[in-house]
Amino acid sequence: MVDVVFLLIIFFMVSTTFITLESGLPVELPDSQTTVTEPSTLPTVTVNKDGQIFFGGAQVQESQLALLLRQDLDASGQTTVVLRADRDVPHGVAVRIMDLLTQGGAQRIVIATGG
């Protein structure tokens, strides 16, 4: 019985994704009661309150995002992307960006929160 519990604990520890918030771009993330932060090497897309999109620390146009992300994911072998959207970004904009991330090859999108 103890073995099963131990294996479950290990499984959940390994399968949990930990993320660190990039501090370079000023966005006010939505709050969450269950935020866990750890260092992350995942590609990150940031959308500020003015709707400007940043990828790799540089501002990009919406039309370029999918192509740039695909190149980055192909080079890194990652399939998960972190989306940091300001709390004031309209829902429709966030969904449109998530669609572009999927078109760019992201199989999993992690939504960053402020905690």
Please give the angle made by the CA atoms of 68, 73 and 77, to the nearest 5 degrees. Answer: 160
Contacting residues for 111 by C-beta, under 8 A, at least 6 apart? 82, 83, 85
Just give the CATH number of 18-111: 3.30.420.270
pLDDT digit string, tens, across residues 68-79: 999 999 999 989
Within a 10 A sphere around the Cβ of 19, how many other Cβ atoms?
20
pLDDT at 56 over 60: yes
Lowest mean pLDDT among 33-37, 46-50, 51-55: 33-37
pTM: 0.67
User: What are the domain boundaries of the chain?
Assistant: 18-111
